[in-house]
Amino acid sequence: MEERLSESALKVQKALEPFGVSLKVVELMDSTRTSREAAKAVGCDVGQIAKSLVFKGARSGKAVLVIASGANRVNEQRLGELAAEPVEKGDAEFVRECTGFAIGGVPPVGHAMALEIYIDEDLMKYGEIWAAAGTPHAVFKLTPADLAKITRGKVVKTA
């Protein structure tokens, strides 16, 4: 019998279905809000956490999603070069408006609008990674190849 998922986690599970990948969202008792918490909760290295960070173009206001290794800090200047304009971290309201999810649970798919997506190349060195799935307690395991497939993001150096 399938475990019942919260509304946000179920939204992510349904967003994964059209990609033809067999990925399963799980909700945990422990928090997965930060990369360290997520790594501890699932028993992996912090670098295997695919954290979703939303930035805002300073001129255009466009949303830019970076899916970075939990061990890395995003270089905003480098991201600005990739996005062709300076960027700033999106605030909680902007993140929810663009993705449909709250900070701490933003998944790599199922967003409220189309986002420009960049994937940290450091995630590609792992056999498996973990991504947020809609809430600060929901995650799913996938491969870096799955991440590239479901997001159609550009793999780049973001740190």
Over residues 22-44, the pLDDT tens digits come to: 999 999 999 999 999 999 999 99
Other beta carbons within 10 Å of 89: 13
Position 2 in a domain: no
What confidence category does residue 3 fall into, taking pLDDT thresholds of 50, 70 and 90? low
What's 45's domain CATH number? 3.90.960.10
Over residues 7-21, the pLDDT tens digits come to: 999 999 999 999 999
Q: Domain range spanning residue 68?
A: 7-156
Position 66 in a domain: yes
Residues 87/58, Cβ–Cβ less than 8 Å:
yes
Q: DSSP character for 3? A: P
